[in-house]
Structure 1
Amino acid sequence: MKRLLPWSLLTVGCLVGLIDLVRYPLDRTVAMAQTAADEGDLYYTFYDQRIPLVERTNQIAVEFSPNPSLTRGEQEPAYLRLQRDLQAATQGTRGGLHDQPAAGVEVRPLGNRYALIELPEGTRSPAARLGPQLEQPYIAATLPVLSRPEAEDSIVVTPEIVVSFEPNTTEGQARSLIAQYNLELIRPLRFTEGRYLVRGRNIAGEAVLDAANQLTAVPGIQSATPNFVQSLPYRVAVPDVLGAEPAAEIDLQQVLSGSAETTPYPGSLLPLQWHLNSQPLRPRPYRRTDIRAVEAWEQGHSGEEVVVAVIDSLIQWDHPDLANTVYTLPATVEDPLPGEVSGWDFSNTDLTCAKGDPDSCTLGDPDTRISNAELDFVRPYFQNSFVLSDAALLAAYPRRDQNLQDRYPNATAEQRADALRRTFQSYASSQFHGTWTAGVIAAQPQNGQGIVGVAPEAEFLPVRVFGLGGEITPAALIEAVGYAAAREVDVINLSLGSLLPNWGLTDQMFAVLDRHPDLVIVASAGNDSLDGVGFPAAIPGVIAVGATNLEGNRTAYSSYGAGLDLVAPGGEVARRLREGILTTGGTWVEGFWTGIARPEEPWGLALDPIGQYVSVQGTSFSAPAVSGVLALMKGQDPDRQLSREQLTTILQETASYAPLTLTQADANQYRVQAEVGFGTTLAIPTVRPSGIEGELDPISPEAYYYGRGLVNATAAVEAVAMAVEKFR
């Protein structure tokens, strides 16, 4: 049973007890932070390093009341009501379900608690412009939106702060200290120790940054970081620009019939999965650029009795190729969450309760799949891309059409409509990023049909941390990592390459790694094509994975340099769709097609007409390839005799540069970087996206772009077998 309770019932107010510390009350930071904001000095602290931020002047966010009253009898998502009310206020009439509000205002949800309101570029003071239109009973607060300098991400500043206390701090001491500094306790974070979600009384907006920065100097506090709501929608690369002809696509029958190789999974789509075996798409005499997983299977290694946690977005675990490998909670687990069977959704802020037990209520959802409310948002855009004519589509979304005209003044109406179709289809498809990731690791084809994961006999634990629109918070990720570790998984995969560096999450990762010496955490290096991997891949102890393409080059998007450990195939659909990583999709769900005819041909990144399989690119998919290889390795070590350090060393020592080559562009860039200094741009020091400085000593070009090299599953499994034999 799931129910909503007022957010205030989750807080603990009027806390008593003081700790004798000399410190200014945090309510004085409001004026201080306002001064800092006026001077343009916005930042938060990551291990005493300032992470600079800038204001986004054309965006504002709203936080919805936990259970808004509705004037109509039917329940509807709060973001949709806001969109309708803005439409009515600016046009005087009620528009269609997804008509955009007049004056170029667009509303899009961020999970189930927030929404982002975007006005045309150049707009100043969106809150003042919208004014009383945002004074609605179902809106709890308006919130500022920031961004990293020279970036286009959206970072919503909530009143919440994640506070971590020093070890051995009792809960009573923590509560007293929270009260001492004029903070209100929201709740302790689950699956971690000494970490709490708090909010400042009378502190809001950008003043929250300064409050968190001051808290880091308080004795007894290990770290304090704003609980930002970061919007990280996955940017789907499509192999065209406006007006360009699409590249030659997949001739499915030709590729399948052209492969006479016998594999453990005959009849599957394996010949198209070049990251597992590149020979069908890259026949001799070309060198192989895959991870050699097929040979590992043929030697009897498929990841049996291994569990990999997939911490990601929507994970549609009932996909035919995933249903048989999804983790099921064993009866021996001591702390099951209400209704937990196969994973948990930490992005959901509803309360889930065990039937008949109100004291069991906890935040989240036991189902990581797409909900009806989420379908209600995505479906109209998605269906309109198939059923509306060019003219009707452009008329339905005038703001988006105007943006295209401004960017491509010579584009025809047909080209602009085609661009909108691609945008809407890609948006719907990319919500299932977690489904894509899970397929790379543990897909298992049914009845000879479908795709194969790197470790097709392993299980995956679905853990959702992203809401719609790429919404994610540090608190959700801290709890998700702790939850996966509490479920005793063998590997955690984090295909999250562009997060803000976070002190509290880093502390949590260290605690988890220290407590579980056999647990391996793998993360994507990032798709920013920068010197220095992103966060959380840069955290010491995490394996950072970059991406290569079918040719054996670094992909154009893959980050490199400081912190990079290994590379694996990540695909490059910008070259050709067949050069992407083929995996499980999510738009086959019936709700996407209700009321419309299904297309006869594939569209966007889909291999088939309904998107059951997609071809994608990113370090998000090179990371799960490595997680899958680790599952194969751990399957060879059933008694778990090898530690994380031993497995990591084997993975690195069996990797190779032999299948890889440098493009001339990368070779030339290396020469420039070697001259001006690694980790710099035009000889000017820069702050890496991870916030963590890596090794800057001169290294070889191969190590700079590929770390220790391309992962080799067969060699790694054989090396594990030899290492395990020594224990016998």
Structure 2
Amino acid sequence: MPFFRSMCLSVWGVSLALAFAPVHAGEILAAPQMPPARSASASIDRIIVSYRTDATERTVSTAALQHVQAAIAAIGLDGAQTSHRAAPLAASYQRTLATGAHLIKLSRNLSPGEQDALVQRLMSDPAVAYAEPDLRLQPVRDVAVPTAIKATEPDDPDYAKYQWHLRGAPGGASVSDAWDLADGEGVVVAVLDTGITQHPDIDLSLADAGYDFITSAFLSGRDADGRVPGGWDLGDWTTTEPWLSACEVDGKGRNSTWHGTHVAGTVAELTGNGTGMAGVAPRAKVLPVRVLGHCGGSSSDIAEAIVWASGGHVEGVPDNMHPAQVINLSLGGQGSCASQSVTAQAIAEANKRGTTVVVAAGNSNSDVANFTPANCPGVIAVASNGITGQRARYYSNYGSLITLSAPGGGIFKDDAASGDIANPEGFVWSAINLGATVPEQPGYIGNAGTSMAAPHVSGAVALVHGALKDAGEAMPTPDAMRQILVQSARPFPVAVDRPIGAGIIDANAAVKLALAGGPAPDPVTELSRGVVLGNQSAPAGGSRLYSIKVPAGALDLNIRTMAGVGDVMLFVKAGAVPQDGVEADFVSAKAGNSEAVIVSEPSADTYYLRVKSDRPFAGLSVLATYRL
């Protein structure tokens, strides 16, 4: 069972706190120590079950509970306790999630073996679309290097000194060049994280409009279970009980991370106000949504927060009056993300509403294919580079599922995997709170991690939306936004040691490309009736476009994909090119490469076929035929 963590280098790297003492040139900093990786949590006591649309359990909660209880009995976990067995397992109903899945509470924690047995039993039932544990997502712990600064000059005095990551080549995001064209005004960015704290350099006008989605009092630190209005960060420290013994494997605990404040500052820290530092989209509105608290947060809560932040309805929570155009998820951990999982379903719903979802790739120096939600369908997965434009080799995840890279800090000089710490250019600088546990004085901090890379991309998305809004143009779909970012990405200035996407985010080029009409149209391959076109391929997040001309009087248009490796989706539309399932007339999205769309009485028109996947596909065959 994976752990999910906020993707800054607080467990996996370094943070530099800024308070009041100046940083001196030549100051020697201690090398960061990589904390040991955490094992899978043993505290899973809730399970999420999604039923197929035609199953009674889909809409009847009592039937869903009875079904889970039957599965518990079938694997022998409901029997009387003996000397060599755990206590009998019982189930109770919690709630129906916004995705339609059911959250079931178990009477005790499951061992890994029990968890696997229960999930497999449920998945073997044809009525079940997907079953999964309600994973606990955890923010990472900071390994701090104690240095500090104080802002004393007007006009964002520390921007020039510290914020290399907002400037251009070789490793920056080219944000400052984009400010002549856009500032994100009128755009809402939802930051799903630890919440936000009071800070003079952040627009907090939507802080009360945000929401605390943590349902557990143990995780939230509040007096009772349940959600409450406001996106405020109450602290997520684990230095005291009950969290120290329950959440920390090394017994040391950690102070509050104020992670959400740092991420929010990177997205939209106020700029040109004579205070502190700058943000990527300084006039965008940050909607803080608290999903991570003491010991982390639950995937069920995060999934519903994604739905709510994008404008969907969540039972028991007032509808969001400020739907987000982009959601930032700087969290994650080991695991897969099947398209039927609750997180993937929530992301799909957000995408359908036009919300782009940006996710940190992870800080384990491993293939992102093994880390969720960065490997979920429909997301923009962001790796981290340092000031030289190289992959942050000390920590950044990599692989074919990465969309692109963004500055997250390399920690060491020349972005090496080890050596002398680079201060300040080894880190990404932003707002923070200086309280050890509860909120106290505002300040600034340098962090390194893919948590810091992701909000650069979220801010760039906000700049694109703002520029198009000012120009009176239509807003791009999440698919179109992905293509804008990929096609405008700046090539890596040096050869990267591992694949981390199309290049480095270039906010200025992305805005210009969007204003110029968007990404170049895809080439269209015309199919011949009844002729198989083989050996088709595309990279992760890519697609291929085909067409078939259907004459008048044709019947039984049959469009298929087959063979090869991957997991593709097929979108079909008559007379126009579909970008995704929202725009398509017909969709086929089964597991694997075997997809089919059959139109019994097609119109006389050109039918366009888009074959796409969030994972690479290769060796695919495409066929279109009809009867005359």
Common fold, TM-score beyond 0.5?
yes
- SS across alignment from 1:723: coil
Q: Name the structure 2 match of 1:356.
A: none
Of 493, 501, 505, 2:342 maps to 505
Given the alignment, which residue of 531, 553, 560 partners 2:390? 553
Structure 2 residue 431 is the aligned partner of structure 1 residue 584: yes
Of 94, 98, 108, the match for 1:187: 94
The question of 1:721 aligning with 2:515 is answered yes
Tell whether 2:402 aligns with 1:564: yes
In structure 2, do the counterparts of structure 1 residues 362 and 233 end up closer, same or farther at CA, with 3 Å as the change threshold?
Answer: closer
Equivalence map 1:181-260=2 (5 Å): 181-182=68-69, 184-190=91-97, 192-200=98-106, 204-206=110-112, 207-230=114-137, 232-238=138-144
Matched-pair contact (CA < 8 Å) for 2:484–2:519: no
Matched, 1:657 2:484: no
1:349 deviates by 2.4
**Corresponding residue for 2:355?**
519
- Kindly indicate which of the two structures has a greater share of residues assigned to strand: 2
Matched letter for residue 423 of structure 2: L
Identity level (%):
27
| SS of corresponding position for 1:162 | strand
Q: Give the corresponding residue for 2:159.
A: 269
Tell me, in whole angstroms, the C-alpha distance in 1 between the residues paired with 2:194 and 2:348: 24
Once residues 302 and 161 of structure 1 are traced to their aligned partners in structure 2, the CA distance between those partners, rounded to angstroms, is 43
Per-residue CA distance 1:456-501 (angstroms, 9 max, x = gap)? 00011111111113x2222111111111122421001111132533
Contact 1:325 1:442 in 2 (8 A): no
What is the Cα deviation at residue 724 of structure 1?
Answer: 6.8
1:582 partner SS? strand
| CA 1:484–1:513: 2 relative to 1, 3 Å | closer
Alpha carbon RMSD of aligned pairs, Å? Answer: 3.7
Question: How far 1:369 sits from its partner (Å)?
Answer: 2.7
Match of 1:443 in 2: 269
CA offsets 1:571-625 (integer angstroms, 9 cap, x no match): 13452230211111122599567xxxxxxxxxxxxxxxx6610000000110110
Distance 1:474-1:362 versus aligned 2 partners, 3 A rule: same
Deviations 1:627-647, CA, capped at 9 Å, x for gaps? 000000011122543222222
1:630 aligns with 2:512: no
Q: What residue identity is the alignment partner of 2:102? A: Y
Out of 526-535 and 618-627, give the one that drifted further.
Answer: 526-535
- Report deviation, 1:195: 0.9
* 3-state DSSP of counterpart to 2:358: strand
Q: Structure 2 CA distance, aligned partners of 1:592 and 1:496?
A: 21
- After TM superposition, list the pairs within 5 Å mapping 1:537-552 onto structure 2: 537-552=374-389
In the TM superposition, 1:400-415 aligns within 5 A as none
- Where does 1:314-325 land on structure 2 (aligned, <5 Å)? 314-316=195-197, 318-322=198-202, 324-325=203-204
Query: Please, what TM-score do these two structures have when normalized by structure 1?
Result: 0.53
Partner Cα distance (1:569, 1:365) in 2 = 34
Quick one: which of 289, 292, 296 aligns to 2:178? 296
Which residue does 1:414 correspond to in 2?
Answer: none
Distance 1:250 1:378, change over 3 A: closer
Q: Distance in 2 between matches of 1:570 and 1:305?
A: 26
Q: Distance in 1 between matches of 2:229 and 2:303?
A: 17
- The SS at the match of 2:41 is strand
Query: Which among 62, 65, 82 is matched to residue 178 of structure 1?
Result: 65
The residue aligned with 2:324 is 489
| DSSP 3-state at the match of 2:409 | coil
CA distance in 2, matches of 1:217, 1:589: 48
Deviation at 1:434, TM superposition (A): 1.1
Q: State the 1:325 CA deviation.
A: 4.7
- Per-residue deviation, 1:308: 0.8
In structure 2, distance between residues paired with 1:196 and 1:270: 50
Q: Report the alpha carbon displacement of residue 208 of structure 1 after superposing the two structures with TM.
A: 3.6
**Aligned: 1:152 with 2:38:** yes
Specify the code of the residue in structure 1 equivalent to 2:485: L
Aligned to 2:62, what secondary structure does the other structure show?
helix
Q: Distance in 2 between matches of 1:500 and 1:315?
A: 28
Q: 1:237 to 1:371 in 2, by over 3 A?
A: closer
Long gaps (5+) in structure 1:
1-43, 45-50, 54-149, 240-245, 258-262, 279-286, 329-340, 352-360, 381-396, 404-419, 594-609, 667-703
CA-to-aligned-CA distance 1:648-694 (integer Å, 9 cap, x gap): 11111111225x3137xx3xxxxxxxxxxxxxxxxxxxxxxxxxxxx
CA shift in 2, pair 1:495/1:510, >3 Å: closer
Amino acid at match of 1:319: H
TM superposition shift of 1:236? 2.6
Q: Does 1:479 align with 2:304?
A: yes
Question: CA-to-partner distance for each residue in 1:90-135, whole Å, 9 max, x for gaps?
Answer: xxxxxxxxxxxxxxxxxxxxxxxxxxxxxxxxxxxxxxxxxxxxxx
Give the 5 Å matches for 1:6-155: 151-155=37-41
Who is 1:642 aligned against?
476
Q: 1:612 to 1:589 in 2, by over 3 A?
A: farther
1:160, distance to aligned residue in structure 2 (A)? 1.4
Where do 5+ consecutive residues of structure 2 fail to align?
A: 4-35, 71-90, 219-223, 312-319, 413-420, 521-628
In structure 2, what is the Cα distance between the partners aligned to 1:203 and 1:546?
34
Q: Distance in 2 between matches of 1:342 and 1:366?
A: 7
Is the alpha carbon distance of 1:208 and 1:552 closer, same or farther for their aligned partners in structure 2, counting shifts above 3 Å? closer
Which range is displaced more, 541-550 or 570-579? 570-579
Aligned ranges 1:600-619 → 2 under 5 Å: 612-619=443-450
Please tell me whether the aligned partners of residues 193 and 290 of structure 2 are also in contact (alpha carbons under 8 angstroms): yes
The number of residues matched between the two structures is 430
Helix, strand or coil: the match of 2:132?
strand
- Kept in 1, the 8 Å contact 2:139–2:331? The answer is no
The answer on whether the counterparts of 1:513 and 1:541 sit within 8 Å (CA) in structure 2 is no
Which has the larger share of helix? 1
Q: 2:193 aligns with which of 291, 308, 312?
A: 312
Q: Structure 1 residue 203: deviation in Å?
A: 8.6
Superposed displacement of residue 447, structure 1: 4.3
For 1:327, the equivalent position in structure 2 comes to 206
Q: Which residue, 246, 250, 255 being the options, matches 1:428?
A: 255
Query: Hey, what's the Cα distance between the residues in 2 that align with 1:587 and 1:251?
Result: 12
Partner residue in 1 for 2:538: none
